[in-house]
A and B are shown apart, each in its own frame.
Chain A
Amino acid sequence: MLLLTILKNPDEAKNLNELEWELLVRQARAANLLGRLGYLFELNNVSQFIDDIYLWHFTAARQLSEKLKTTALREVDELKSALNKIDVQPVFLKGAAYILADLPCHHGRLMSDIDLLVKKESLSKVQNHLLLFGWVSTPIEDYDRKYYKTWMHEIPPLQHASRKTTLDVHHNILPLTNKNTIDPNLLNVKSVYHSWCGNILTLDPLDAVIHSSVHLFTESEFHNALRDLSDLDMLLRHFKAQNNLFIYDLVDRANELKLGNYLALTLRYTSLVLSTPIDSDATAKLNKTNQSAVSTVFWDFCFMHIFTPIHPSTKTWKTVFASNILYWRGHMLRMPLKLLIPHLLMKSYMQIKDSFKKAPKDEKLP
Chain B
Amino acid sequence: VNFYFDGHRPFKPLPYGQAYAMLEWGMNWCIANHAHHFLILHSAVLEKNGKSVVLPAPQGSGKSTLCAALAGKGWRLLSDELALISLKTGELHPCTKPINLKNDSINIIKSFLPDSVNSNLFKDTHKGTVSLFKPNEHSSSRSWQACSPDFVIFPRYIKDSSIELKPMHQSEAFIQLIENSFNYDVLGSDGFEAMCAFTDKVDFYQFSYSSLDDAIAVFDNVINE
A residues bordering B, Cβ < 8 Å? 26, 29-30, 56-57, 59-61, 63-64, 66-67, 70, 310-312, 360, 362-363, 365-366
- Which residues on B sit within 8 Å (CB–CB) of A64? 36, 186
- Which residues on A sit within 8 Å (CB–CB) of B34? 57, 60
Cα separation A26 to B26 with both chains bound (whole Å): 17
Known interface pairs A66-B188, A67-B185, A311-B7; A366-B37 also in contact (CB < 8 Å): no
Cα separation A67 to B186 with both chains bound (whole Å): 5
- Which residues on A sit within 8 Å (CB–CB) of B28? 366
A63 touches B187 (CB 8 A): yes
Nearest to B21 among chain A residues (CB) is A365
Question: Could you jot down 18 A-B contacts, CB within 8 Å?
Answer: A56-B35, A59-B36, A60-B35, A61-B36, A63-B37, A63-B186, A63-B187, A67-B186, A67-B188, A311-B6, A312-B6, A362-B12, A363-B10, A365-B11, A365-B22, A365-B25, A365-B126, A366-B28
- Which residues on A sit within 8 Å (CB–CB) of B6? 26, 29-30, 311-312
Nearest to A25 among chain B residues (CB) is B6
Task: Write out, one digit per residue, whether chain B residues 4-16 have a CB within 8 A of any chain A CB (1) or not (0).
Answer: 0011001110000
Contact of A363 among B29, B81, B187 (CB under 8 A): B29
Least Cβ distance of B23 to chain A in Å? Answer: 11
Known interface pairs A63-B37, A64-B186, A366-B25; A312-B10 also in contact (CB < 8 Å): no
Cα separation A322 to B187 with both chains bound (whole Å): 38
- Which residues on B sit within 8 Å (CB–CB) of A26? 6
Least Cβ distance of B7 to chain A in Å? Answer: 5
Task: Write out, one digit per residue, whether chain B residues 153-191 have a CB within 8 A of any chain A CB (1) or not (0).
Answer: 000000000000000000000000000000001111010
- Which residues on B sit within 8 Å (CB–CB) of A70? 188
Cα separation A61 to B12 with both chains bound (whole Å): 25
Top 9 nearest A-B pairs (CB, nearest first) are: A63-B36, A60-B36, A363-B10, A56-B37, A67-B186, A60-B37, A362-B12, A59-B37, A365-B25
Tell yes or no: B44 within 8 A of A by CB.
no
Interface extent on B, as a size class?
A: 20 to 34
- Which residues on A sit within 8 Å (CB–CB) of B22? 365
- Which residues on B sit within 8 Å (CB–CB) of A360? 12
Tell yes or no: B32 within 8 A of A by CB.
yes
Cα separation A67 to B11 with both chains bound (whole Å): 25
Tell me which of B7, B10, B25, B28 has the highest count of chain A C-beta atoms within 10 A of its own C-beta.
B7
Tell me which of B22, B25, B188 has the highest count of chain A C-beta atoms within 10 A of its own C-beta.
B188
Given A63-B186, A64-B186, 13 other A-B residues pairs in contact with their CB atoms under 8 A: A30-B7, A56-B37, A60-B35, A63-B36, A63-B37, A63-B190, A64-B36, A67-B185, A362-B10, A362-B12, A365-B11, A365-B26, A366-B81
Q: Give B15-73 interface residues, CB cut-off 8 Å to A.
A: 22, 25-26, 28-29, 32, 34-37
Cα separation A12 to B167 with both chains bound (whole Å): 53
Known interface pairs A29-B6, A30-B6; A366-B32 also in contact (CB < 8 Å): yes
Least Cβ distance of B101 to chain A in Å? Answer: 16
Known interface pairs A30-B6, A64-B186, A67-B185; A365-B36 also in contact (CB < 8 Å): no
Cα separation A212 to B34 with both chains bound (whole Å): 29
Least Cβ distance of A74 to chain B in Å? Answer: 11
Cα separation A42 to B7 with both chains bound (whole Å): 28
Least Cβ distance of A209 to chain B in Å? Answer: 30
Cα separation A312 to B37 with both chains bound (whole Å): 26
Least Cβ distance of A218 to chain B in Å? Answer: 26
Tell me which of A26, A60, A311 has the highest count of chain B C-beta atoms within 10 A of its own C-beta.
A60
A363 touches B37 (CB 8 A): no
Tell me which of A63, A67, A360 has the highest count of chain B C-beta atoms within 10 A of its own C-beta.
A63
Nearest to A315 among chain B residues (CB) is B7
- Which residues on B sit within 8 Å (CB–CB) of A30? 6-7
Nearest to A29 among chain B residues (CB) is B6
Nearest to A364 among chain B residues (CB) is B11
Least Cβ distance of A48 to chain B in Å? Answer: 13
Q: Give B173-225 interface residues, CB cut-off 8 Å to A.
A: 185-188, 190
- Which residues on B sit within 8 Å (CB–CB) of A29? 6
Nearest to B26 among chain A residues (CB) is A365
Cα separation A311 to B10 with both chains bound (whole Å): 15
Cα separation A319 to B145 with both chains bound (whole Å): 43
- Which residues on B sit within 8 Å (CB–CB) of A312? 6-7
